[in-house]
């Protein structure tokens, strides 16, 4: 591993791995817990991670059976050096900690490996639930401190925007500390409790179902009320005279809906509250909440505005159901045209179950979002704009701990990555406060030389394999091999 310059005084050493410049006494660690004073030497304490694609000769993945991989390198297996535990480029003027040359199917490649110290970073969180968690733009709080806000809901999911530079550095010291701790926990797969102003108490964890006001969510809705009608209208036809699918956004009424018309269903004369959008589609039938279909109602009949005696008839069969199938009721109109609860017919019970079957499991998705700034790019080349252009021209692949990222269009290298695709413990922090995250830039060796890369700092993969603290983890099989050239780049050469 590269030696680090330190300042010593009576056994105390000064760490220069970040702007905090911790003075560390013998046997102690710095504020980030990643560097310590080991017998007067500044020492990185956590593992340096590489990922390996372990294959047999026929290309099949080697099964590990019941035993855990012990973290040692598998000889001859394709190996990719990640930024986890690699160190940083701070204070900016020096090359990245590792610039590693390798070969992929006869192509000479190079991967520039570093840990970024990100003040400009945040989390985009997708919570699969139609339950109301709070008004859009409402503050999200952890330990009483604002750490983000509710943003625009998406199809079947509530969305949060958490962290960001204004919470990390623009508020009180405690706000920044709590925000950094929240982000670190979520990025590293831990659960975090939070409260939305004028909304719900939420517990989230990446890759797990969310807890909303103490209730574990199980299903992501199959669609809005109108979409649900479109999917199941034919299965309801002949078994119900009217179906109302309750939904916070678009409540569907089958006999009015275009699907009902195509099936030549008679209009049932049951009018629901709310604002009619198009035939059979109603907005604002109730307030948002944790009841049926993400509304605040627990009695579905409360959304019925009127039943037209000129159209409806005694014996009319009415099914009311939510967009997850978790709530359903069957009613028959009596002589006074009042809906009376009745036993659910078996055929309709099957369709309610099928709604649930078509709902995907409720999960929490955490995307880490950050911008690769000056220190990262200067660690790759003396002319950082060339790296930016190389990324935009699809010559350079950007990864985080080997995981694929989405790079936003426009200026800079602004990326997003799903934290569940990264090795365990990939993220760290510094008390500035900021999040420390791994990042890698992989491109052809010739392209790296042409961009003005730090060629005198290039090492071979077999040299890195002998580094201390090395830990191997299994490659994330759903992702493209990070050490390969981009398809567009390969086609052009």
What rounded mean pLDDT belongs to the chain? 90
Whether the pLDDT of residue 458 is over 80: the answer is: yes
- Could you tell me the two tokens for 430? 């510094």
Greater model confidence, 258 or 17: 258
pLDDT of residue 61: 53
Q: In the predicted model, what is the mean pLDDT of residues 162-189? A: 96
List phi, psi (to 5°) of 346.
-60, -40
- Could you tell me the two tokens for 295? 């509304």
Among 48-57, 121-130, 185-194, 313-322, the minimum mean pLDDT is found in: 48-57
pLDDT of residue 36: 83
pLDDT of residue 1: 44
DSSP 3-state of 120: coil
Contact assessment for residue 49 and residue 471, using Cβ atoms and an 8 Å cutoff: yes
Which pLDDT band holds residue 2 (cuts at 50, 70, 90)?
very low
pLDDT of residue 42: 81
Task: Count Cβ atoms within 10 A of the Cβ of residue 479 and give its class: 0-12 exposed, 13-18 middle, 19 or more buried.
Answer: middle
Task: Count Cβ atoms within 10 A of the Cβ of residue 454 and give its class: 0-12 exposed, 13-18 middle, 19 or more buried.
Answer: middle
H or E element at residue 90:
none
Contact assessment for residue 109 and residue 486, using Cβ atoms and an 8 Å cutoff: no
Burial 160-174, CB ≥16 within 10 A → b, else e = bbbbbbebbbeeeee
pLDDT of residue 433: 92
Whether the pLDDT of residue 367 is over 90: the answer is: yes
Greater model confidence, 6 or 79: 79
Task: Count Cβ atoms within 10 A of the Cβ of residue 220 and give its class: 0-12 exposed, 13-18 middle, 19 or more buried.
Answer: buried
pLDDT of residue 65: 42
pLDDT of residue 89: 80
Q: Report the sign of the C-alpha dihedral through residues 10, 15, 20, 26, in that order.
A: negative
Find residue 308's DSSP bridge partners.
none
Residue range 198-212, pLDDT digits in tens: 999 999 999 999 999
**Which among 381, 437, 441, 378 has a CA at the least distance from the CA of 111?**
441
Contact assessment for residue 80 and residue 482, using Cβ atoms and an 8 Å cutoff: yes
Distance separating alpha carbons of residues 94 and 86, to the nearest angstrom? 14
pLDDT of residue 376: 82
Which pLDDT band holds residue 9 (cuts at 50, 70, 90)?
low
| Locus of tokens 């692949």 | 397
- Spatial neighbors of 424 by CB under 8 A, at least 6 apart, are 188, 189, 473
- Could you tell me the two tokens for 227? 């979409």
Which pLDDT band holds residue 70 (cuts at 50, 70, 90)?
low
Which pLDDT band holds residue 326 (cuts at 50, 70, 90)?
very high
- Could you tell me the two tokens for 266? 């008679």
From residue 239, how far is each of 187, 236, 242, 317, 319 by CA, in Å? 49, 5, 9, 8, 9
- Spatial neighbors of 146 by CB under 8 A, at least 6 apart, are 139, 140, 167, 171, 175
DSSP string, 141-209: EETTEEEEEEEEEETTEEEEEEE-HHHHHSS-HHHHHHHHHHHHHHHTT--EEEEETTS-EEEE-TTS-
Q: In the predicted model, what is the mean pLDDT of residues 217-244? A: 95
Among 84-88, 275-279, 374-378, 486-490, the minimum mean pLDDT is found in: 486-490
Distance separating alpha carbons of residues 488 and 493, to the nearest angstrom? 9
Which pLDDT band holds residue 462 (cuts at 50, 70, 90)?
confident
Q: What percentage of the chain has pLDDT greater than the value 70?
A: 93
Strand order in the sheet with 192-196: 215-216, 211-212, 201-204, 192-196, 139-142, 145-154, 157-163, 121-128, 364-372, 413-418, 406-407
pLDDT of residue 71: 61
Residue range 111-130, pLDDT digits in tens: 999 999 999 999 999 999 98
- Spatial neighbors of 50 by CB under 8 A, at least 6 apart, are 73, 79, 80, 81, 82, 464, 465, 470, 471, 472, 473
Greater model confidence, 32 or 483: 483
CB atoms within 10 A of CB 465: 15
Whether the pLDDT of residue 76 is over 80: the answer is: no
Q: Strand 281-283 relative to strand 275-278: parallel, antiparallel, unpaired?
A: antiparallel
Which pLDDT band holds residue 69 (cuts at 50, 70, 90)?
low
Among 83-97, 311-325, 415-429, the minimum mean pLDDT is found in: 83-97
Residue range 281-304, pLDDT digits in tens: 999 999 998 899 999 999 999 999
From residue 261, how far is each of 255, 265, 266 by CA, in Å? 7, 6, 8
Which pLDDT band holds residue 262 (cuts at 50, 70, 90)?
very high
| Cα distance from N-terminal residue to C-terminal residue, the chain | 34
- Could you tell me the two tokens for 432? 């500035």
CA-CA-CA-CA dihedral for 177, 440, 405, 103, to nearest 10: -160
- The pTM (predicted TM-score) of the whole model is 0.88
């Amino acid at each position: 591993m590269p030696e680090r310059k330190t300042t010593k005084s009576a056994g105390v050493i000064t760490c220069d791995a970040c702007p905090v410049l911790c003075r560390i006494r013998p046997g102690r660690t710095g504020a980030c817990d990643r560097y310590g004073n080991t017998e007067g030497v500044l020492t990185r304490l956590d593992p340096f991670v590489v990922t390996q694609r372990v294959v047999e000769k026929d290309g099949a993945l080697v099964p590990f059976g019941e035993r855990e991989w012990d973290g040692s390198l598998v000889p001859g297996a394709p190996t990719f050096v990640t930024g986890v535990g690699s160190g940083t480029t701070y204070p900016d003027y020096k090359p990245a900690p590792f610039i590693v040359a390798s070969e992929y199917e006869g192509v000479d490649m190079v991967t520039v490996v570093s840990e970024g110290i990100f003040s400009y970073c945040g989390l985009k969180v997708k919570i699969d639930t139609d339950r109301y968690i709070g008004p859009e733009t409402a503050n999200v709080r952890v330990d009483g401190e604002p750490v983000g806000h509710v943003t625009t809901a998406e199809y079947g999911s509530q969305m949060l925007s958490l962290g960001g530079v204004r919470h990390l550095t623009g508020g009180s010291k405690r706000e920044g500390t709590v925000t950094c701790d929240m982000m670190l926990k979520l990025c590293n797969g831990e659960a975090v409790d939070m409260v939305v102003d004028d909304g719900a108490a939420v517990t989230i964890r990446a890759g797990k179902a969310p807890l909303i006001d103490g209730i574990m969510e199980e299903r992501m809705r199959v669609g809005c009320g109108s979409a649900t009608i479109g999917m199941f209208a034919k299965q309801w036809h002949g078994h119900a005279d009217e179906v109302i699918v309750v939904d916070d956004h678009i409540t569907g009424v089958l006999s009015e809906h275009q699907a009902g018309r195509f099936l030549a269903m008679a209009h049932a004369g049951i009018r629901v509250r709310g604002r009619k959008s198009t035939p059979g589609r109603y907005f604002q039938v109730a307030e948002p909440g944790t009841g049926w279909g993400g509304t605040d109602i627990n009695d579905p009949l409360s959304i019925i505005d009127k039943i037209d005696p000129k159209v409806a008839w005694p014996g009319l069969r009415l099914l009311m159901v939510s967009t997850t199938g978790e709530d359903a009721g069957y009613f028959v109109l009596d002589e006074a045209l009042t809906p009376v609860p009745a036993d659910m017919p078996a055929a309709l019970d099957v369709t309610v179950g099928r709604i649930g079957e078509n709902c995907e499991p409720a999960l929490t998705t955490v995307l880490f979002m950050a911008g690769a700034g000056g220190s990262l790019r200067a660690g790759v080349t003396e002319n950082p704009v060339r790296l930016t252009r190389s990324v935009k021209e699809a010559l350079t692949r950007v990864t985080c701990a080997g995981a694929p990222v989405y790079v936003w269009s426009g200026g800079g290298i602004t990326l997003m990555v799903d934290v569940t695709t990264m090795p365990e413990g990939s993220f760290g922090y510094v008390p500035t406060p900021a999040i420390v995250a791994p990042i890698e830039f992989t491109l052809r060796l010739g392209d790296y030389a042409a961009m003005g890369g730090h060629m005198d700092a290039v090492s071979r993969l077999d040299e890195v394999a002998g580094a201390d603290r090395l830990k191997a983890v299994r490659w994330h099989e759903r992702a493209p091999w990070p050490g390969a050239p981009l398809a567009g780049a390969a086609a052009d050469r």
